[in-house]
Amino acid sequence: MARDPVDVCIIGSGAGGAPMALELGRAGFKVVVLEKGRWHKKEDFVHDEILNSRRNFFMPLPWDEPHLVRGGVDAPFRRTNEAWTANVVGGGTVHMSGYFYRLKPMDFRLRSELGPVPGANLADWPIRYEDLAPYYDRAEEELGVSGEVQPHPFAEPRHKPYPLPPLWAHPIAKEIDAACSALGLHPLTTARGIISRNYRGRAACHYCALCGSYGCESDSKSSTLAALIPAAVATGNVEIRPQSMATEIEVDAAGRAKSVVYLDANGVRQEQPAKFVVVSATAVESARLLLNSQSGRFPRGLGNNNGLVGKNLVFSSFGQSKAIFRVSSRKKEWPWLSDPAPFVQRSVQDFYAMPDARHGFRKGGTIGFMWSHPNPIYAAINIAGTGRRGLFGKALKDALREYRDSKILEFEIYGEFLPNDGTFVSVEPGVKDKYGLPVAAITLTRHPTDLVMTKYLVERGEEILKALHPDRLERVGIAGETTILQGGTCRFGKDPAQSVLDPECRLHEVPNVYVVDGSFMPSSGGVPFTLTIVANAFRVANLFVKRHKG
């Protein structure tokens, strides 16, 4: 059934879609936002690990809506729910931890900075940091970001302070500061998408410790659900339509998008005509939607006549180590160790870029410190282990007792993920989801330089942990990737032969279709993507209004 036409149909309500909805609604455009997930209220967010982390509250079940993943073009695919973010109004911003770093000026000119890297598809961005900086300011203000501007060798230029002071840090932050200073490093207060004071009608954080993997029951987390969507709806021009699964973008005889086909909550086919379509379903799912939107004009998928949709997929390179402190043995030395403050609030970016290639890489990333997530089931499963290394009986009980007597300080690496020909998204016609649609198939091949870099950064992070003299140090991994941080599948650029989107994030081949999730990013940078996606969406919305406001 065809619905009444609107000016703009936005697919997805997360970091990219919500800023567009807000700005276009404020400018007077009639907007419909299609979101495949439910629209939760803050009362729905409870501290239930089984509900939130062991079921399909955020992520779909792999037998209902699988992603296919393989480690290289010669490997078989396996079904997984990896590379899903969150199928709810607000998207992945609802269950994020809210680590909000900006990219650095060099991230926008990585090809020029590094030169050609064999096996990597490096490209400079068609904009510069200076072009995005005002929209970083805007994103931080609209969302509500807590932080402190500090001098640093890789500090990005800023014209404004953070809108809110930093969150309260656990006393161990001072120990990390001392350890870093002794190593000649420059620890930073981590900026967070969590409000430290009451802000725009939202309550300040009450330090519950359950940010990542959970929604926020007080609206203190700066998700688009809490910060942007209510303001968008309040314009009177924006309708959020939850449980609406977009299946195809249809085009007219001239090759311009004319409508979005979707399945409503009852599985009934609907059609939303619109003058413009904005796609923001995550880099993987947006590529899938475009590839599945085939027509006589676009037999390989919408905007894909150059064959680049889905190519150059990037995640964030990942590494991790943990320091275990036994509270009973350290309580005289560090009586505050059992302090329940949930946030460590420290990062290190001294290795964001290297002056030369003596260590085997030039572009690095960020080391972020945090307490281990307190989910007890997750912890118990990891402690018990599997197979021959699994623990049983007294050994398992002793390990669980040790865990209960421990504080676990860990760090994560957010590192550059070099785009390459072996990492991309396609669709698999032979495997369909519960909607009857071909699913996204992810081929993942790591550039060897990434692994050299993550190993180096993990070793540097471990030096900091060792300086704290923990009871035990445990390396988790040096060669991973964070698949909820994703971009690159519709990279933007000035040359239609080398990119999918123009600098305004419009499809080169279909100029009334915009893509504003992480798909536009030619490179991953050495920080989480979320703040950059929000900032870019505000930038694109501003350009949209200037171009189309009559």
Give domain status of residue 498, yes or no.
Answer: yes
Rounded Cα distance between 342 and 413, Å, is: 19
DSSP 3-state of 24? helix
Quick one: pLDDT at residue 389?
85
Give domain status of residue 331, yes or no.
Answer: yes
Mean of the pLDDT values across residues 430-448? 97
Quick one: pLDDT at residue 1?
73
DSSP 3-state of 465? helix
- pLDDT above 90 for 36: yes
CA distances for 113 relative to 109, 122, 378, 526, angstroms: 6, 10, 41, 15
The answer to whether 11 and 289 have CB atoms below 8 angstroms apart is: yes
Quick one: pLDDT at residue 53?
85
Contacts for 375 with CB less than 8 Å, ≥ 6 apart:
49, 53, 213
DSSP 8: E
- pLDDT above 80 for 489: yes
Lowest model confidence (mean pLDDT) among 228-237, 334-343, 454-463: 334-343
- List, for residues 260-315, the tens digit of each pLDDT value: 999 999 999 999 999 999 999 999 999 999 999 999 999 999 999 999 999 999 99
Q: Which of these, 259, 302, 265, lies nearest to 277 by C-alpha position?
A: 259
Mean of the pLDDT values across residues 210-226? 97
Mean of the pLDDT values across residues 383-393? 88
151 or 510, greater pLDDT: 510
- pLDDT above 80 for 67: yes
Domain CATH code at residue 367: 3.50.50.60
Contacts for 315 with CB less than 8 Å, ≥ 6 apart:
417, 444, 481, 482, 483, 485, 486, 524
- pLDDT above 90 for 386: no
The answer to whether 283 and 518 have CB atoms below 8 angstroms apart is: yes
Q: Which amino acid, residue 372?
A: S
Give domain status of residue 42, yes or no.
Answer: yes
Number of domains composing the chain? 1
Q: What is the DSSP string of 479-515?
A: EEEEEEEEE-TT-B-S-TTT-SB-TTSBBSS-TTEEE
Give domain status of residue 468, yes or no.
Answer: yes
What angle (nearest 5°) sits at the alpha carbon of residue 253, between those of residues 264 and 519?
55
Give domain status of residue 1, yes or no.
Answer: no
pLDDT band at 213 (very low <50, low <70, confident <90, very high): very high
Mean of the pLDDT values across residues 11-30? 98
DSSP 3-state of 135? helix
Mean of the pLDDT values across residues 40-62? 92
- pLDDT above 90 for 413: yes
Quick one: pLDDT at residue 526?
97
Give domain status of residue 374, yes or no.
Answer: yes
- pLDDT above 80 for 508: yes
Helices 172-182 and 448-467 pack at an angle, to 10 degrees, of 110
Give domain status of residue 416, yes or no.
Answer: yes
Q: What is the DSSP string of 299-358?
A: TTSTT-TTS-TT-S-EEEEEEEEEEEEEHHHHTTT-GGGG-------EEE-TTSB-SSST
Domain that holds residue 246: 6-548
β-sheet bridge partners, residue 523: none
Mean of the pLDDT values across residues 322-330? 94
Q: Which of these, 3, 15, 257, lies nearest to 139 by C-alpha position?
A: 15
Judged on CB neighbours under 10 Å (0-12, 13-18, 19+), 390 is: exposed
* H or E, element range at 133: helix 129-143
The answer to whether 87 and 184 have CB atoms below 8 angstroms apart is: no
Rounded Cα distance between 128 and 130, Å, is: 5
DSSP 3-state of 427? strand
Quick one: pLDDT at residue 387?
85
- pLDDT above 80 for 27: yes
Judged on CB neighbours under 10 Å (0-12, 13-18, 19+), 416 is: buried
Rounded Cα distance between 331 and 293, Å, is: 61
Residues in the chain: 550
Whole-number average pLDDT of the chain:
96
Helices 17-26 and 530-548 pack at an angle, to 10 degrees, of 30
Quick one: pLDDT at residue 522?
98
Instruction: Give the tokens for residue 74.
Output: 């010669």
Pairing between strand 6-11 and 269-279? parallel
Quick one: pLDDT at residue 96?
97
- List, for residues 490-505, the tens digit of each pLDDT value: 999 999 999 999 999 9
Give domain status of residue 148, yes or no.
Answer: yes
DSSP 3-state of 163? coil
Q: Which of these, 221, 83, 140, lies nearest to 517 by C-alpha position?
A: 83
The answer to whether 319 and 483 have CB atoms below 8 angstroms apart is: no
- List, for residues 163-201, the tens digit of each pLDDT value: 999 999 999 999 999 999 999 999 999 999 999 999 999
What is the residue whose two structure tokens read 């209960």? 404
Mean of the pLDDT values across residues 406-410? 96
Quick one: pLDDT at residue 108?
98
Rounded Cα distance between 205 and 521, Å, is: 31
Mean of the pLDDT values across residues 101-125? 96
- pLDDT above 90 for 2: no
Rounded Cα distance between 544 and 515, Å, is: 12
Mean of the pLDDT values across residues 147-171? 95
- pLDDT above 80 for 65: yes
What is the residue whose two structure tokens read 């599985």? 267
